Amino acid sequence: MLREWTRGEYVISTDPRRLDVALVHAFLARAYWSVGLPRDVFERALAHSLVFGLYGPAGQVGFARIVTDHATFAYLADVFVLEAFRGRGLGKWLVEVTVTLPELQGLRRWLLATADAHELYRRFGFTDAAPGRLMEIVDLDVYTRAR
C-alpha cells in the first residue's frame, strides 16, 4: 500500500515511482557504506525493498529503505538526508516513519548498520547488538573490485 506523510513543506512517500533514482544512486555510490554501488545492483535492491523518499519543494532530499519478511524481521538500510537539508529534523522524521509503519509493528527483530548515527537510532529503540549473538558475512570491496 502506498502511503504519504506531510510535515510542513516536506513529504515522505512510499511510492517507488516518485524516487529520483539517479540522485539516490549517486549518493549511495559515494556513501561510506556502499562505495561504488553499481546501478544495476541498486535497482535490484530497490525492486525488493519498501522505499521511503523524502521530498521538499525542489525535489528529493532524502531516502531510506526496508528489507523485510513482513512477519518477523526488518532491516533498515540506506538512510540519508542530503547535506543541505540536515539539521532540520528530517532524518529523525524519516526514521520515525520507517520504524512506526503500521504493517511492520510486532516484528521480533529490526536491524541496521551504522558507523556514525548510533544516537539517532537509539531514540527509536535500537540498541547495540549483543556480543556473540549476531554473525555476518561481509565483503566491503564487492562493488569496487573489477566485475
| % of the chain at pLDDT higher than 90 | 88
**What separation in angstroms does the CA of 96 have from each of 42, 125, 127, 135, 146?**
24, 11, 16, 27, 38
Domains defined for the chain, CATH in brackets = 4-122 (3.40.630.30)
pLDDT digits (tens, 9 = 90+) for 41-70: 999 999 999 999 999 999 999 999 999 999
Check: pTM over 0.75? Answer yes or no: yes
Under the banding of pLDDT at 50, 70 and 90, the label for residue 130 is confident
